[in-house]
């Protein structure tokens, strides 16, 4: 009896102006900058080693553009569950800025006001995995 292994390959979108400046980038549709476009193009060669059965992508343009530039756009299925973390009131703010107000804040433990918790993100991820 043969065993089939399944591998999940996670690819993060390329750089945006907000990721460059370390701002929390969740639901805002911030596009790739030039560095991010180059990063995505560099993935094309690395990803040719894989034969993907399915390719899922967030509905945000930075993720969809990364998939296209990495050579996976023709197979990419937009899945709403893969939308980025909802940072709520912390969207666009830096960790340093948030810690001035809440010195003990931890994204994974505390979540974000008017946003979501890590548990909620996990529920969305579980739907994709299943």
Alpha-carbon span 17 to 78, nearest angstrom: 23
- Residue identified by tokens 């996670």 is 10
Name the H helices within 9-104. Answer: 17-20, 34-47, 61-69, 95-101
Helices 34-47 + 61-69 axis angle, to 10: 50
Q: Helix, strand or coil for residue 55?
A: strand
The residues annotated as belonging to the active site are 13, 84
């Amino acid at each position: 009896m043969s065993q089939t292994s399944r591998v999940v390959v996670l690819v993060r979108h390329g750089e945006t102006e907000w990721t460059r400046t370390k701002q929390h980038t969740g639901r805002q549709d911030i596009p790739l900058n030039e560095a991010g476009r180059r990063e995505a193009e560099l993935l094309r060669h690395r990803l040719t080693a894989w034969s993907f059965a399915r390719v899922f992508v967030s509905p945000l343009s930075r993720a969809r553009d990364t998939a296209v530039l990495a050579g996976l756009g023709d197979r990419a299925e937009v899945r709403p569950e893969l939308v980025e973390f909802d940072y709520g009131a912390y969207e666009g703010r830096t960790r340093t800025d948030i810690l001035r107000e809440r010195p003990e804040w931890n994204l994974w433990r505390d979540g974000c006001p008017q946003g979501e918790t890590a548990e909620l993100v996990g529920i969305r991820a579980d739907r994709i995995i299943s």
